Amino acid sequence: MRDLPPLNALLAFEIVARTGSVRAAADELLVTPSAISRQIRLLEEHFGVALFARQGRGLTMTSVGAAYYERVTSHFDGLRKASALLHASSGRAVLKLRSYTTFATRWLLPRLSHFQLAHPEIDVRLTTESQWSDLGDFDAAIRLGDGQWPEHRAVPLVPNILRPVCSPALLKGSETKDASWLARQTLLFVRARPDDWALWCDAAGIDMAGLKRRRELESSALAYQAALEGHGVALAQLVLVEDELAAGDLMAPMAFALDRRNVTYYLVSDVRSQKRTVLDQLQRWLTSVDAA
């Protein structure tokens, strides 16, 4: 075994090379990005060569790294196929599902837990990430959009209603606030949804040019946390902050809410999927009012 590199490091390398992202590899392996970086350094030390070139905060494969990836990735594909066959022969259906991180933690996970209890014969394996990418090796994914994706079945899961929310600490009176109040607040923008505030302001008849105080955050989860801590006003997808609103930890200071209608979260799968029966079971569960 002395000729084999550390297998954890090799796995981290294969995923980073396949996805092009340390963060994606961290999400897939349920570890931190720094842990992935350590494994990559360990593999490079093992061989004494650079497998990736660091460019700012990103990575690109060196020629040596690319050549090594081409040789090892087929072996990982073989392992995945062999594992899939073993799972199939064991009698349990395996369903690989991918979701945005915030949607998974705030809406999907409780429903999946109940689904697993009700359907022990189905093994749902959830991977989270901050942005959408192609289905790839996944059987289904959660995608935010208009539902119009060729060769994919898209089933809407929730209403996507946008409304400003903030900590009660920002409110000095119980009355509904107006545009002048909003102009004095810090607006919390989400990098993955950069147009939401503009859409809401346009529909609400508010000149966004007058809203000067802004802060950009990586994800909705961070925006909601910043709002909870009193750092500004987040434009929330209401279905994702129901618990905080019900508990009074977040308040909706302005009356207007924008219903994005067909632009919402969908359960997306390939129309030719061989796991249609299992996918239909999951779809029926997630769209049932009794799923939570």
pTM: 0.67
Please provide the CATH number assigned to the domain covering 92-158+263-286.
Answer: 3.40.190.10
Question: Would you state the pLDDT for residue 90?
Answer: 52
Domain ranges of the chain: 7-87, 92-158+263-286, 161-259
- Tens digit of each residue's pLDDT (9 = 90 or more) over 114-127: 998 888 889 999 88
Q: Tell me which H or E stretch contains 29.
A: helix 22-29
Question: Would you state the pLDDT for residue 1?
Answer: 43
Question: Would you state the pLDDT for residue 231?
Answer: 95
Question: Would you state the pLDDT for residue 11?
Answer: 87
SS3 label, residue 162: strand
- CA 271 from centroid of its chain's CA atoms: 22
Q: What Å distances lie between residue 93 and 84, 127, 164, 276, CA to CA?
A: 9, 17, 41, 11
Question: Would you state the pLDDT for residue 83?
Answer: 66
Question: First vs last Cα of the chain: how many Å apart?
Answer: 48
DSSP letter (8 states) at residue 54: E
Note down pLDDT in tens along the chain; length 292 residues: 446 678 888 888 888 888 888 888 888 887 788 888 888 888 888 888 899 887 766 778 898 888 888 888 888 777 777 666 655 545 578 899 999 888 999 999 989 989 988 888 899 998 887 666 667 788 999 999 999 998 899 999 999 999 999 999 998 765 668 899 999 999 999 988 889 999 999 999 999 999 999 999 988 999 999 999 999 999 999 999 999 999 999 999 999 999 999 999 999 999 988 899 999 999 999 998 555 5
Looking at CATH, the fold of the domain delimited by 7-87 is given as Arc Repressor Mutant, subunit A (1.10.10)
> Taking Cα atoms as reference points, which of 103, 104, 105, 248 lies closest to residue 165?
248
The Cα–Cα gap between 165 and 170 comes to 10
Check if the beta carbon of residue 266 is closer than 8 Å to that of residue 145. yes
Question: Would you state the pLDDT for residue 91?
Answer: 58
Domain at 161-259, CATH homologous superfamily: Periplasmic binding protein-like II (3.40.190.10)
Hey, do 92-158+263-286 and 161-259 end up sharing a CATH topology, with the first three levels equal? yes
